[in-house]
Amino acid sequence: MSKRHLLKTVVALALTAGFATAQAQTKPIKFQLDWRFEGPAAFFTLPAAKGHFKEAGLDVTVDSGNGSGGTVTRVASGTYDIGFADMAALMEFHANNPDAPNKPVAVMMVYNNTPAAVIALKKSGIKTPADLSGKKLGAPVFDAGRKAFPIFEKANKVSNVAWTAMDPPLRETMLVRGDIDAITGFSFTSLLNLEARGVKAADVVVMPYADYGVKLYGNAIIASPKLIKENPELIKAFLKAFTKGAKEVMANPAAGIETVKARDGIINVELETRRLQMAIDSVVASPDARKEGFGQINTGRLSLMASQVSDAFGTKTRVDAGAIWNGSFLPSAAELNILPPAKK
């Protein structure tokens, strides 16, 4: 064997061994979304599709969800390592399960404001929160906006509201039919659902909680206490890779939607691109997010939310804000500086 051939063989073996070692070091992570593969899921499908998680030594499986409450429960049970869920749902789980051994913890804020809103049709005559008094509202019983409505109600002096419950697919249909006067839901979901039912955006009144005195946080990345204890570096790696992907999604939403379509081929690309952009503008790159910094929280605001959720949700015990959040795994402030320029 010639020296050149021997050298090539040695190099090939070394590369193979290095690849095998890298593969062996790739840590599997089971991640669950809060909902289906819709526009905002791009924040997670893009870093997975583009290999950002792989580059960080992670083999991340991104699965759809069926509501934040379910995601919290599945991370608590150990079925999933990391998830994406509403902070109010996480607080409710903590306060209603004080003795649970594995209560998930929020490690990064993504929706700095809750997307919850009250939505009505202009023809109803509802223009402001004050017009909701005495009206019939509708939403699924587990809807985040419905559960937090007592906070909105108190902040805006609304009274005598009657509630109608329904399955999620019927919410906007019942509003269009006139069975109810208004609904609660995520603004970027219900508005587009109404358009799909033939309602023009100009004919819809949207009252986002964040614009009417309700400064609740929205969805955060949550992690299991087992993972936090046993492999904190893995959480850091996940958040760093996620942040890299989130920056790319906000810079080019269309590219993000392509990775969502790869997971669910029947999505309406135009509609989901709009949904993603609405989420970015209203809850991810909101004025509050710019003030506090992407991924981060204000401890005073979190404590107020904990108190409000305890009251509004009627939890078994009071929510302990200190047990809900752990920001020690976040990337540096410079790495988190990813929000696009504010729109004028």
Judge if 121 and 174 occupy the same domain: yes
The bridge status of strand 82-86 relative to strand 27-32 is: parallel
pLDDT confidence of residue 343: 81
Strands 27-32 and 58-63: parallel
- 146 shares a domain with 79: no
* Banded model confidence at residue 344, pLDDT cuts 50, 70, 90: confident
Q: Which of 160, 189, 212 is the last residue of a domain?
A: 212
- Same domain for 322 and 222? yes
What does R_g of the chain's alpha carbons equal in angstroms? 22
Q: Is residue 322 part of a domain?
A: yes
State the pLDDT at residue 13.
46
Q: Of 212, 242, 273, which residue constitutes the final position of a domain?
A: 212
- Is residue 65 domain-shared with residue 95, that is, in the same domain? yes
Length of the chain: 344
Task: Say what the pLDDT of residue 90 is.
Answer: 97
Task: Please identify, among 212, 239, 274, the residue that sits at the C-terminal boundary of a domain.
Answer: 212
84 domain residue, yes or no: yes
As a whole number, mean pLDDT of residues 279-308 equals 97
The pLDDT of residue 204: 97
Query: Do 228 and 100 lie in a common domain?
Result: yes
Determine the pLDDT at residue 8.
Answer: 53
Please check whether residue 60 lies inside any domain of the structure: yes
Contact status, residue 196 vs residue 171, Cβ threshold 8 Å: no
pLDDT tens figures, 70-100: 999 999 999 999 999 999 999 999 999 999 9
Do the domain assignments include residue 19?
A: no
DSSP 328: G
Query: Looking at the structure, do residues 86 and 121 belong to the same domain, yes or no?
Result: no
Look up the domain containing 165 and give its range: 116-212
The first and second tokens of residue 273, run together, are: 């691109």
Is residue 320 assigned to a domain? Answer: yes
Contact 217, 324 (CB under 8 A): no
pLDDT tens-place string over residues 224-261? 999 999 999 999 999 999 999 999 999 999 999 999 99
Tell me how crowded residue 167 is: count the other CB atoms within 10 A of its CB: 7
pLDDT in the model for residue 108: 98
Quick check: 168 pLDDT over 80?
yes
Instruction: Quote the CA–CA distance of 319 and 298 in Å, as a whole number.
Output: 16
pLDDT tens readout for residues 111-155: 999 999 999 999 999 999 999 999 999 999 989 999 999 999 999
Q: Percent of the chain, pLDDT > 70?
A: 93
Kindly state whether residue 136 falls inside one of the protein's structural domains: yes
Strands 58-63, 182-186: pairing is unpaired
Query: Are residues 240 and 138 both part of a single domain?
Result: no
Provide the 3-class DSSP secondary structure of residue 178: coil
In a domain, 1, yes or no: no
What's the chain's average pLDDT? 92
Residues 129 and 103 occupy one common structural domain = no
Q: What is the CATH number of the domain that holds 200?
A: 3.40.190.10
Q: Which amino acid is at 190?
A: S
Binned at pLDDT 50, 70 and 90, residue 313 comes out as: very high
Contact 312, 230 (CB under 8 A): no
Q: What are phi and psi of 142, to 5 degrees?
A: -95, 0
Residue 330: which residues within 8 A CB-CB, separation 6 or more?
Answer: 107, 108, 239, 295, 296, 336
Q: What is the pLDDT of residue 1?
A: 52
251-267 core/surface letters (b: 16 or more CB in 10 A; e: else): eebeebbbbbbebeeeb
For the stretch 15-40, pLDDT in tens is: 444 444 344 468 999 999 999 999 99
Query: Do residues 204 and 58 both lie within one domain?
Result: no
Does one domain contain both 281 and 242?
yes
In a domain, 18, yes or no: no
pLDDT at 15: 46
Residue 163 clears pLDDT 50, i.e. is over it: yes
Domain count, the chain: 2
Pair (245, 105) in one structural domain: yes
Say yes or no: 191 and 320 in one domain: no
* Confidence (pLDDT) at 3: 53
Q: What pLDDT score was predicted for residue 26?
A: 82
Instruction: Tell me the sheet residues that pair with 136.
Output: 162
Split at pLDDT 50, 70, 90, the class of 342 is: confident
